[in-house]
Chains A and B, each alone.
Chain A
Amino acid sequence: MRALQRLFTRVLNFPSRGRGDERLREEIESHLAAQTEENIRAGMTPQEAHRQARLKLGSVEAVRADYHAEAGLPFLDSLLMDVRYALRLLRKSPGFTLVVLLTLMLGIGVNVVVCGVINAILLHPLGVSDPSSLYQIRHQQWMSGHALTTSYPAFDDFRQRNTTFSGMVGINAYSRAELVWRKAELEVAGYEVTGNYFDVLGVQPEVGQFFRATDEHGPGSAPFVVLSDSLWREAFNADPGVVGTTVELNKHPFTVVGVAPKQFHGTEQFEWPNYWIPIVNEEQVEGEDYLASRKGVAVTVIGRLKPGVTAQQATENLNAIAAELGKEYPESDDGQPLRLIHPGLQGDQGDVIRGFLYSVTVLAVLVLLAACANLATLFAARATDRSRELALRAALGSSRQRLVKQLLTEAIVVSLMGGAAGLLTAYFLLGLLGRWYPDLGHLAVNADARVYLAGVALTLGSALLFGMAPAGQAWKISPLQIIKGGPIDPMPLRRVALRDLLLGVQIAICTLLVTASLVAVQGMVYALHVPMGFQPQGALLVEMDLRRAEQEGDLALEKQKEIIEALRGIPGVITVGAVSRTPMTGGLHGIPIFPPGTTEFRLKNSVLAAYLFIMSPGYLDAAGTRLLRGRDFSWYDTTETPYVAIVNETFARKMWGETPAIGQHFIVWGHLTEVVGITQDGKYHDLQEPPQPVVYLALSQDEDEHAIFVVRSLRTPAEIAAALEPALSSIEPNVPINVESWYHSLEYYVLFPARAATAALGVMGLLAAMLAVTGIFGMAAYSVSRRTKELGIRVALGARAMHVLSAAVGRPMALLGVGSAVGLLSGVFASRLLEQIVYQANPRDPLVVAGAVVTMVILGIAAAAIPALRALAVDPSKLLREE
């Protein structure tokens, strides 16, 4: 209680410290006067009386210090003093301060950005209730892209028969529509979901209500739409009155029933659907009915486990059902076992994404460590420079704790400033990321308190880390030695000083990072040059939705022919072809291939599951896919003539081995089909896939209303679009046309991960290179400036330039060599880590090793050049006159 009262008084006293001083002075004066008077009365001379009075009182300074300690908060007092002193010192050497602040800003900024991204991707909840009991159902074999699970009827069977899930929803996440509201037209993308979707996910509407399972009464019975918060705000001006009104989706009326809450965007971190409609009404938007067919893979299945049921039990339950279905529907259901994963990160991509993020985190922490080593070197060097000052203070009675505290305060002040700059930078970068909407999807990066707390913790942690070096030096200081010995600079050549060790560590880490970024660049180059089996460069994709124009069957085929002719007629166009879908746009799954003579089309009887493309004559040419043997399709291959197919090498090898494939037969989609051509292999789903069997069917025999036209031309998309408009208006007016460069459209889907990895690792490598340069430069410059006198004497005694150089920058160079070697070796050992991040990463590649060595040598030379020149320019006569 008393202690508390005292603390309170002290805090109150704190701002008025000066007045206490005044009071003590007055009291001591009156005390001395009284004592002197008494001494005079005792018979002393006035001088003697005064002297004796002072002696009796004791050391006024010590009393004042005690008095202060009692009056205020000595800890805070000295802290303020230290902070002020630290700021003064930093102001005195702006160059040093700038380097330190920049280093910290980069080191901490990088880490906070990485933390923010991890927070957003891995830790940020999906806005659904209890995400841990929510599972996405996947097939064991990776057959159908990243997301889709089964056909809708199969999903319905799983939903009805399982005993382990409290709810199971089916989602088609590929819904696209033209939304019309009060004459405003808008292209939107959304989800078609089963009626129980919102109830199973446990989401409450922001406005209005959601549709439920009870609203579904067969196909077309629930023309309702739920809007996303962002669509509601952008297109409907956040008007709550929109609930109950009717909008058009692909020319069909839908009633807006509610708006989803702001933080809810389905079950995928990167996807932000604009709307949700009941899956029973999908035909109105899609134009085709996928609810009845067991053959297509139409829905992603997500289920919520019943309380107490483990994922293992649920998997067994589902597998039993899958086996039953395989028996009941042998033509369509293959009874493949299933497995459960947590939804959110593009299906199985989650592992890849997580691995990548963890690796990047490790690298970011390494950058910060290198930065700390750098700063520790700088601070230790400064502490050595200040050793006289520190020794003097120790000699005057300052305690070691006090000195250490002061040096640590300096480190913390600097790192708080640097950390604040880093946090600010990270804030802007994360904001930028959060506002970035690539085609691939959008990531809600909202840096919350957790992220910034991590930033502050990193700041203080690094301050302690690099503050230790000078503090350790101050602790060992011996005032006598230093005051006696004049400017000390032992720099003992044989002893490895702490500074050397730090620089070595820093260079090793930097080499590792430089190696990593070189590996990333190499991986990127490989990714760009991997044989994809087609040439997206110099080709354009022309897309127009003839389905919208309600063209069916033969008529659609005729239109497509006309469009191809029109495109071919445009000057500058080399070749044109049409294809059902271009490679690497997802959505592929294996189509069963049966041997000739099969009568029962059970999946068990199929010999191969191949990717299937439908194409027009000329597509292979336009796409740049080489036809190795045989012939291309022609328009004369019709439903009246024998069915023909072109297969790729893998298909031919898997089916017929060494036997020539041309002229062989197989059954696909119920037609006996003859192989007429063989194409080169390629990549169809993603760059990482092993060689896949592929079959191409003729557009003129299996018409597909939705075709993409591939145009090989040297002209730009805009020019082609402009030339196309008049040519097409006569064939098919009022159909929106979309023309884009094939290469650019691929960039997002295929090259984006490699790009992102390269960018991330490239930035880290760049930072590391900068740190290496500042570290070596700092060390070399420092060593030269400390030893100017010695170098001058050497020059005066006739030392050669080589000797001067080796004396001046030999040590940093030696450290560079050792550190780089260690870094390279660890890079090779960390290759597993790097392989996770970068496609075809190989740190053992001699090119990479050579690149890293050359980079480090160049960095070393660049960093040491100025100090070395300065050392060579030492003029002994001038120097000796100075001292």
Chain B
Amino acid sequence: MKPKRDVQPGTLALMILKTLDLLGPLHGYGIARRIEKISGDLLSVNQGTLYPVLLRLEQEGAIASEWAPSENNRRARFYRLTRAGHKLLATEKRDWEQTAAIIARFFDVKPGDLA
């Protein structure tokens, strides 16, 4: 079996932002589940590592949180994207796409192209 890949540093925050952008307010467990699902179980998130990242994003003002009852009436902390978070997501997305595009171009180069 091919080992599952670890999350690259820095990308987890982006995944969290995108998830919240798509699905609206979610609790920590929900976010973890969604990330796993979206990645098609290719990524193994050590679920605990999510929480320090959530805290950092909240301190940066990208997300906000509050206690609320969950779907099965348990107390859980729900996170939602703030305006700053939307903006952050947009810039991060652009940066990421740019980086990906540049790297992609380098992979596409054939010896003939440089002559």
Question: Known: A5-B61, A70-B59. Contact between A30 and B51, CB under 8 A?
Answer: no
Interface residues of B in 26-84 (CB under 8 A from A): 27-29, 32, 46-49, 51-52, 55-56, 59-61, 70, 72, 74-77
Q: Are A66 and B77 interface neighbours, CB within 8 A?
A: no
Which residues from A are CB-within-8-Å of B72? 37
Q: Which residue of A23, A24, A27, A58 contacts B49 across the interface (Cβ within 8 Å)?
A: A58
Which residues from B are CB-within-8-Å of A237? none
- Taking CB as reference atom, which chain A residue is nearest B76? A30
Question: Known: A30-B77, A33-B74. Contact between A6 and B60, CB under 8 A?
Answer: yes
Q: Are B60 and A34 interface neighbours, CB within 8 A?
A: no
Which residues from B are CB-within-8-Å of A28? 48, 51
A2 and B74 CA atoms in complex are apart in Å by 34
Q: Which residue of A23, A34, A57 contacts B76 across the interface (Cβ within 8 Å)?
A: A34
- Taking CB as reference atom, which chain A residue is nearest B72? A37
Interface residues of A in 54-91 (CB under 8 A from B): 56-60, 62-63, 66-67, 69-71
A137 and B32 CA atoms in complex are apart in Å by 89
Q: Are B48 and A34 interface neighbours, CB within 8 A?
A: no
Interface residues of A in 773-810 (CB under 8 A from B): none
A24 and B70 CA atoms in complex are apart in Å by 17
Closest CB in chain A relative to B103 CB, distance in Å: 26
A10 at the interface (CB under 8 A from B): yes
- Taking CB as reference atom, which chain B residue is nearest A66? B52
A27 and B75 CA atoms in complex are apart in Å by 9
Which residues from A are CB-within-8-Å of B55? 20, 67, 70-71
Which residues from B are CB-within-8-Å of A30? 27-29, 70, 74-77
A744 at the interface (CB under 8 A from B): no
Which residues from A are CB-within-8-Å of B32? 31
Q: Which residue of B28, B46, B60 contacts A27 across the interface (Cβ within 8 Å)?
A: B28
A833 and B77 CA atoms in complex are apart in Å by 75
Q: Are A70 and B56 interface neighbours, CB within 8 A?
A: yes
Closest CB in chain B relative to A467 CB, distance in Å: 33
Q: Are A67 and B52 interface neighbours, CB within 8 A?
A: yes
Q: Are A58 and B48 interface neighbours, CB within 8 A?
A: yes
Which residues from B are CB-within-8-Å of A58? 46-49
Which residues from A are CB-within-8-Å of B61? 2, 5
A350 and B46 CA atoms in complex are apart in Å by 76
Q: Which residue of B28, B29, B48 contacts A59 across the interface (Cβ within 8 Å)?
A: B48
Closest CB in chain B relative to A8 CB, distance in Å: 9
- Taking CB as reference atom, which chain B residue is nearest A33? B74
A63 and B28 CA atoms in complex are apart in Å by 14
Question: Known: A30-B76, A33-B74. Contact between A5 and B60, CB under 8 A?
Answer: yes
Which residues from A are CB-within-8-Å of B52? 63, 66-67, 69-70
Which residues from A are CB-within-8-Å of B77? 23, 26-27, 30
A446 at the interface (CB under 8 A from B): no
Q: Are A27 and B70 interface neighbours, CB within 8 A?
A: no
Q: Are A66 and B76 interface neighbours, CB within 8 A?
A: no
Question: Known: A5-B61, A37-B72. Contact between A31 and B56, CB under 8 A?
Answer: no
Which residues from B are CB-within-8-Å of A606? none
Q: Are B59 and A31 interface neighbours, CB within 8 A?
A: no
Closest CB in chain A relative to B13 CB, distance in Å: 12
A756 and B32 CA atoms in complex are apart in Å by 79
Q: Are A63 and B76 interface neighbours, CB within 8 A?
A: no
**Highest count of chain B CB atoms <10 Å: which of A24, A57, A59:** A57
A2 and B32 CA atoms in complex are apart in Å by 25
Closest CB in chain A relative to B49 CB, distance in Å: 6
Which residues from B are CB-within-8-Å of A62? 48
Closest CB in chain B relative to A124 CB, distance in Å: 51
Closest CB in chain A relative to B35 CB, distance in Å: 13
A57 and B50 CA atoms in complex are apart in Å by 9
A57 and B76 CA atoms in complex are apart in Å by 16
Which residues from B are CB-within-8-Å of A57? 46-48
Q: Are A60 and B51 interface neighbours, CB within 8 A?
A: no
Which residues from A are CB-within-8-Å of B74? 30, 33-34
Closest CB in chain B relative to A789 CB, distance in Å: 48
Which residues from B are CB-within-8-Å of A34? 27, 29, 70, 74, 76
A384 at the interface (CB under 8 A from B): no
Q: Are B60 and A2 interface neighbours, CB within 8 A?
A: yes
Which residues from A are CB-within-8-Å of B59? 5-6, 9-10, 70
Which residues from A are CB-within-8-Å of B56? 6, 70
A2 and B72 CA atoms in complex are apart in Å by 36
Q: Are B48 and A63 interface neighbours, CB within 8 A?
A: yes
A746 and B108 CA atoms in complex are apart in Å by 99
A35 at the interface (CB under 8 A from B): yes
Q: Are B47 and A56 interface neighbours, CB within 8 A?
A: yes
Q: Which residue of B46, B51, B60, B75 contacts A67 across the interface (Cβ within 8 Å)?
A: B51
Closest CB in chain A relative to B11 CB, distance in Å: 16
A5 and B82 CA atoms in complex are apart in Å by 15
Closest CB in chain A relative to B47 CB, distance in Å: 5
Which residues from B are CB-within-8-Å of A27? 28, 51, 76-77
Q: Are B49 and A31 interface neighbours, CB within 8 A?
A: no
Per-residue contact bits, chain B 70-104, to A (CB 8 Å; 1 contact, 0 not): 10101111000000000000000000000000000
Which residues from A are CB-within-8-Å of B47? 31, 35, 56-58
Closest CB in chain A relative to B1 CB, distance in Å: 17
Q: Are A35 and B48 interface neighbours, CB within 8 A?
A: no
- Taking CB as reference atom, which chain B residue is nearest A9? B59
A59 and B51 CA atoms in complex are apart in Å by 12
Interface residues of A in 1-36 (CB under 8 A from B): 2, 5-6, 9-10, 20, 23-24, 26-28, 30-31, 33-35
Closest CB in chain B relative to A36 CB, distance in Å: 10
A57 and B56 CA atoms in complex are apart in Å by 19
Which residues from B are CB-within-8-Å of A23? 77
- Taking CB as reference atom, which chain B residue is nearest A67? B52
Which residues from A are CB-within-8-Å of B46? 57-58
Closest CB in chain A relative to B33 CB, distance in Å: 8
A257 and B51 CA atoms in complex are apart in Å by 80
Question: Known: A30-B27, A30-B75, A37-B72. Contact between A63 and B51, CB under 8 A?
Answer: yes
A56 and B29 CA atoms in complex are apart in Å by 11
A27 and B30 CA atoms in complex are apart in Å by 12
Which residues from A are CB-within-8-Å of B49? 58, 63, 66
A20 and B65 CA atoms in complex are apart in Å by 13
Closest CB in chain B relative to A52 CB, distance in Å: 11
A750 and B76 CA atoms in complex are apart in Å by 88
Closest CB in chain B relative to A17 CB, distance in Å: 13
Which residues from B are CB-within-8-Å of A67? 51-52, 55
A708 and B56 CA atoms in complex are apart in Å by 89
Which residues from B are CB-within-8-Å of A2? 60-61
Which residues from B are CB-within-8-Å of A10? 59
A56 and B10 CA atoms in complex are apart in Å by 21
A28 and B70 CA atoms in complex are apart in Å by 14
Closest CB in chain A relative to B16 CB, distance in Å: 14
For the complex of A and B, the 9 pairs showing the least CB-CB separation, nearest first, are: A63-B48, A58-B46, A66-B52, A58-B48, A34-B29, A9-B59, A31-B29, A57-B48, A67-B52
* A-B CB contact pairs (8 Å), 29 listed: A2-B61, A6-B56, A6-B60, A9-B59, A10-B59, A27-B28, A27-B77, A28-B51, A30-B27, A30-B28, A30-B70, A30-B75, A30-B76, A31-B27, A31-B32, A31-B47, A33-B74, A37-B72, A58-B46, A58-B49, A59-B48, A62-B48, A63-B52, A67-B52, A67-B55, A70-B52, A70-B55, A70-B56, A71-B55
Interface residues of A (CB under 8 A from B): 2, 5-6, 9-10, 20, 23-24, 26-28, 30-31, 33-35, 37, 56-60, 62-63, 66-67, 69-71
Beyond A23-B77, A63-B51, A67-B51, 12 extra complex contacts between A and B, CB < 8 Å: A2-B61, A10-B59, A26-B77, A27-B28, A30-B28, A30-B29, A30-B75, A31-B28, A31-B29, A34-B29, A57-B46, A57-B48
